[in-house]
With several copies, the nearest count.
Chain A
């Protein structure tokens, strides 16, 4: 990785979200929440979803956790993404994000689906850091699953 690549991993948007975190702090009123641990480092995140009772869509995502710049920025970017998405749609987008992350850099992210979270695409080339970026998304996916019917979480 050259200095240029370090910038590709830690894009300015990521550094910004790592500092100014959107959605941080759990709410007393959330609908469901899921806690996930990254086995590689022991870091963790708890993601909480609130459902809009009117539309049945996801109203907001809040989170709390401990992790690196990648994982906190990832949670923050995800919080920006969810607003008023139907649960199904959010699940699809998480699936796309996972595909990108697992692609080792061969799959371009779709900005229509991921919005600013495309900034995380550089992570895909760092196998050891993919779990960092995935962590909040896995927690979100698990929370979505609970919304449908409570079940066991899938591994990160």
Chain B
């Protein structure tokens, strides 16, 4: 595989030293030890959703078996225990991102968390709600700013908020290579900007946003910042207070946790002012037929029976990640990302998207194979047991900007080995020969 030898050498990144630890980690993931198409599974789709370790599955099951009880609603022993464990899970997840427990709201995924903030703004802006919500009142003349590389989850809720309130949606463009046009930021972010929503790490490019600089510019104009941390919180240490963002969102299923749970972080002062989104039981203090009074955060935002066993399982996932160490996970994945990028640029007819090898990137890489549709690339790799993601990865505008409708993405996690990365590189090198009959 001469054409795909990674330019990043084992000497520089000590593969061997980590290997024993990664093997130990892999033992914890039953999903890794299955066969696909007669091959051992090579799971390179962790940016879509991560595999789950035994420890998380055990915690979830133990809770679901024995602790079944509505939290915050029962006086009996089971309910009291469930409530304590549920709030304990909140504290665990809050500590993981450097937040206070009452700054953490459970949602069903990151998408819902962004919608919660967007609807909070529109609920402050429509109808007769009046008290304490000036910070969130939007109308014509106001502007919401996103970037051109956003996941649909961090774009469409803002389009809809703009539609509902009459505010305008603007965006910070990217170059045709996918780089944020930070030079244009001062033009786009201005005195009319009320919200600046952006991804910490692009799920397509693996590039990292200049959070400090964007937060600085948003603060300078008094805009609220919303960080899509879906691809950062699972993969590297993130401290929301240190970053200085107002809101941040991420999903449990991308960080070893179960589906059905996500997190909204909100800075305490802002969360206190944000009107409720979903309404119903357990988020109220007093209810008459005419009106309801709402609890303080976080409970104001958690209507109805909560994702209890999912919250417990997510806390177990966080415990697992902390035990391994987010610093190490971040380093390890940075190395895998470099290995991917370096390998891909060495393959004939392959276009690497996002940062060039050697430039900071997360543990993932997307690419185009000239003359072969991404779905065919994915099918070809699947035949070798390699699971990658193909399509627009919920980022159609970015793909359009890159001149593509679809790409192929390989993404890693703490259980990914360098050998697996090499295997996908090797296989990608075989794609054009197979479909186009070109030489390797």
Instruction: Give the interface of A toward B (CB within 8 A).
Output: 1-3, 5-6, 9-10, 15, 18-19, 37, 39-43, 66-70, 126-129, 132
Contacts and interface: CB of A to CB of B under 8 A. Distances in A.
A69 B295 CA distance: 25
A2 B374 CA distance: 20
B383 A128 contact: no
Given A6-B380, A42-B285, A128-B83, A67 B295 contact: no
Contacts of B373: 43, 67-69
Contact of B391 (A2, A15, A41): A41
B396 interface: yes
B84 interface: yes
A19 B435 CA distance: 9
A68 B38 contact: no
B392 A42 contact: yes
B295 A39 contact: yes
A2 B285 contact: no
B59 interface: no
Contact of A69 (B37, B286, B372, B384): B372
B382 interface: yes
B9 to A, nearest CB: 32
B405 A132 contact: no
Contacts of B286: 42
B405 A42 contact: yes
A90 to B, nearest CB: 27
Nearest to B385: A1
A93 B74 CA distance: 31
B84 A127 contact: yes
Nearest to B75: A128
Interface in B408-440: 434-437
A128 B80 contact: yes
A40 to B, nearest CB: 8
Given A6-B380, A15-B435, A42-B396, A127 B285 contact: no
Nearest to A155: B296
Contact of B436 (A2, A19, A68, A70): A19
A140 B405 CA distance: 24
Contact of B383 (A3, A43, A67, A129): A3
A6 B436 CA distance: 15
Contacts of A2: 37-38, 383
10 smallest CB-CB distances across A and B, nearest first, come from A68-B373, A6-B383, A1-B37, A68-B375, A128-B80, A69-B376, A2-B38, A68-B376, A1-B383, A39-B285
A69 B37 CA distance: 21
B77 interface: yes
Interface range, B side: 20 to 34
A15 to B, nearest CB: 6
Contacts of A69: 372-373, 376, 435
B406 interface: yes
A68 B405 CA distance: 11
Interface centre among A10, A41, A129 (most CB of B within 10 A): A41
Contacts of A10: 376, 379, 434-435
Nearest to B84: A127
Given A1-B383, A15-B435, A37-B285, A132 B80 contact: no
Contacts of B391: 41-42
Given A2-B37, A10-B379, A68-B376, 12 more contacts: A1-B37, A1-B383, A6-B380, A15-B434, A15-B435, A19-B436, A42-B392, A42-B406, A69-B372, A69-B376, A70-B376, A128-B83
Contacts of A3: 383-384
Contacts of B383: 1-3, 5-6
Nearest to B80: A128
Contact of A132 (B72, B372, B375, B434): B375
Nearest to A15: B435
A18 B72 CA distance: 25
B77 A1 contact: yes
Contact of A129 (B38, B83, B379, B436): B379
13 contacts: A1-B383, A2-B383, A3-B383, A6-B380, A10-B376, A15-B434, A19-B437, A39-B295, A42-B391, A42-B392, A68-B376, A127-B84, A128-B75
A127 B379 CA distance: 12
Contacts of A66: 405
A9 B437 CA distance: 17
A39 B283 CA distance: 10
B406 A1 contact: no
Contacts of A127: 80, 84
Contacts of A132: 375
Nearest to A68: B373
B83 A43 contact: no
A44 to B, nearest CB: 9
Contacts of A128: 75, 79-80, 83
Contacts of A5: 37, 383
A132 B390 CA distance: 14
Contacts of B436: 19
A126 B38 contact: no
B106 to A, nearest CB: 19
Contacts of B83: 128
Contacts of A6: 379-380, 383
A2 B295 CA distance: 34
Nearest to B38: A2
A67 to B, nearest CB: 7
